[in-house]
Amino acid sequence: MTIAVFNSIMHWTIFIMIPLIVVSLGGLFSEKSGVVNIALEGKMILGAFFGTIFMHYVQNIWVITMPGWLLLLCTLLIATIVGIIISLVHAYASINLRANQVISGIAINMFAAAFAIYGARSTLGTQHIRFTNVMRIDHVPGLGSIPFIGPIMFQNTYFTSLLGIIILLIVSFVLFKTKFGLRLRACGEHPQAADSVGISVSKMRYAGVILSGALAGMGGVIYIIPIAAEFSGTVAGYGFLALAVLIFGAWNPKRIFFAALFFGLTLSVASQFTAIPFLRDLGIHANFFRMTPYVATLVVLALTSKNTLAPKAVGQPYDKGGR
């Protein structure tokens, strides 16, 4: 395998793992507060939909000239706001109405997929929302020249890759080094105990779900921009894969990073196996390599599910009189 092929595989690994990290951390906030959030897929779809349609309008209808960094910033902000808005629906159903949290998440996923296609066809006449990618960074001055790391991390890259790492560090600090993080985790482990010392379980769970929606909406844009120049109403199941990363990562930010790296690498190799002589010469059908990452997901979840470290009260509507 040549250096160019290795760099290409690592580039794609980063492009795949960063949205998985961001969206998994969103799910982490929600579930640490005690609310199951399987609506990550739907929030990614809606974030990507509104983000890409904004880019399409700016570039093709309003014809506004914006620097790539500013366009990306505005797109991420819009996707984040959309994620927050839809997460409020999930929070209200789960916390105020004490509805089944899984059913609420499924409803959001179904709504998002249909709304994205309908919205695109209604406004543009097609479900394919195209945009011109002006966000790619060819070479980061200084850093792009670092041996080995430079070509992978700082050449032909995107600011979103660095943003994902920054979010990972911030989330790790907030959850385990701040009073807010301690209170959030307490509401997911033993809400009655948290309530007994004056912590508002409802407010903390709202905060967790809102942060989850913000990161999931942002993750939809982070997923789309490096790999395509259009959005077709789907994020290819990455929201569900992010849930697998969350479980495989044992609800821990550090482990989530390595879980996302594992899945990112397997998906990257599966998509570029023809460039690797050893794999290409095996003569195995391409579909085998394409399904390998998802089979690996099932195997990993089966092996790790018995030792789950999920918050004890996750999925349980809070009952003030419970014990």
- pLDDT tens per residue, range 113-138: 999 999 999 999 888 999 988 888 88
Average pLDDT of 29-48?
A: 95
**pTM of the complete model beyond 0.95:** no
Q: Which residue has the higher pLDDT, 187 or 303?
A: 187
Q: Is the model's pLDDT at 52 over the cut of 90?
A: yes
| Cα gap 57→62, rounded to integer Å | 6
Q: Is the model's pLDDT at 322 over the cut of 70?
A: no
pLDDT of residue 156: 84
What mean pLDDT, rounded, does the chain reach? 88
58-73 per-position pLDDT tens digit: 998 887 888 888 999 9
Which residues are bridge partners to 157 per DSSP? 137
| Cα gap 291→251, rounded to integer Å | 25
* 201 phi/psi in degrees, rounded to 5: -60, -40
163-208 per-position pLDDT tens digit: 999 999 999 999 999 999 999 999 999 999 999 899 999 999 999 9
| Cα gap 110→13, rounded to integer Å | 29
Q: Is the model's pLDDT at 252 over the cut of 80?
A: yes
pLDDT of residue 75: 95
Q: Is the model's pLDDT at 297 over the cut of 80?
A: no
Confidence of residue 267 (pLDDT cuts 50, 70, 90): confident
